[in-house]
Structure 1
Amino acid sequence: MYQPFWGEASAKIGLLYTAASLTEIPVFLFSGYIIRKFGYVKILTAVSLAGALRWYVLSLEPSFEILMANQMLSGLTYALFLSAGVNYAYDNSSDRAKTTAHSLFVVVYTNVAGIVASNIGGWVVERGGYSLLFQGAAVMSLLGAAGFASLGRVKRREGRLKV
């Protein structure tokens, strides 16, 4: 049964969302510069590691103050990942497939991943609670970081990495 949040809890949730959104704005604005300076693979690897940290902190069920500090990672873990991912897909596609690659990345990242994660997440929460859910997300982020780092090594070896 749905019960709305009222009072202090609702205000705190609103502050957490506001903090996350405010950190994303400058990252979106400067993402092009950041990506050009460090390259796609380094950015994608770093934001995946930041995501692992963010999820792990959530698994500890910290105080509101720690949650607020943790929200500062949202600019990296959401805005920079989205910017780098979209641009990586676009820049590493043939001229005929650029729009398709861009769209496919966005659809998978924002829709497919959300649907799959929601269903699996509900099952995990029922069996092990939110702490287990966030620990699992941290592990998945670490696996993503390892995957991006491996991608960078393969692309560098092949001489095909577009930065």
Structure 2
Amino acid sequence: MDLSEMRTTPGAPGGATTLLEPGPVGTATLERTGPADLLTAITTTSQELDRSEPASGEDSDVSPAEPHRSNLAIWLVLGGVGISVLLGMFAGARAGAIGIGVVLVVCAIFRAVLDSPVGLVIRSRTVDIILYGSTAVLIGILAVATPSI
């Protein structure tokens, strides 16, 4: 029973309402106790938090209005990784490492352009772009600079 459904006795003088005993789920038995001074009458209510919404008010990454997001970005990235592995096996480790670097650059571009690509969202957008981009640059430098691969 919510507060809008609470009834009082018509014509009864001001008084406090007390909870006698809990009833079935969502209901309660209320009784009007005699007159009470408005300054001393204290009413407390409690509400249970709705666990389906974030407690701090922040937006969740998946919105209910968007039930199905495209998986195209992650499939393109996985395909690029597979091609890079094949390049590494047949054309040499340097070609495979450069391929992985290119795939990381594509990940950074997808993360920058797309709203929230499935499988590529890990942290905030800025941090993801910096990590994908810097890892791509480091792998590219190592692939070119290392003489033995």
TM-score bin, normalised by smaller chain: 0.3 to 0.5
Query: Structure 2-normalised TM-score?
Result: 0.41
Indicate the structure whose relative CO is greater, using CA pairs within 8 Å and at least 6 residues apart: 1
Tell me which protein shows more strand as a share of its residues: 2
Tell me which protein shows more helix as a share of its residues: 1
Query: Structure 1-normalised TM-score?
Result: 0.38
